Structure 1
């Protein structure tokens, strides 16, 4: 069965990911973007009572414009 993607908002991003040469590649996502991601993507954490997901940019299925 196909699962419907989940929707969320980016609240923070890191500096980027390192490539094979060790150089940081900037992210395409930015704070405030509305995104779609798979149901089992990311790692759930609870910070200051808020349930959040930490995920790689590669887990994002798309950005809603």
Structure 2
């Protein structure tokens, strides 16, 4: 997993994500949006709510 810095709440306070770079996660087959990068690498963009489990 690669992650960003989290999101901002209504007051502008940063809310960290429950996952970290390098974690393995489980998600539904139909979750997220798939796309191919300019280098040909396949990516999936997920919302935290799409995650079913953090495996490591």
TM-score using structure 1 length:
0.74
Q: How many residues align?
A: 55
2:29 corresponds in structure 1 to 39
Give the unaligned 5+ runs of structure 1: 1-9
Q: Which 4+ runs in 1 deviate beyond 4 A?
A: none
Give the aligned CA root-mean-square deviation in angstroms: 1.2
Give the unaligned 5+ runs of structure 2: none
Following TM superposition, by how much is the alpha carbon of 1:20 offset from its aligned partner in structure 2, in angstroms?
2.9
Relative to total residues, which structure has the larger strand share, 1 or 2?
1
TM-score using structure 2 length:
0.83
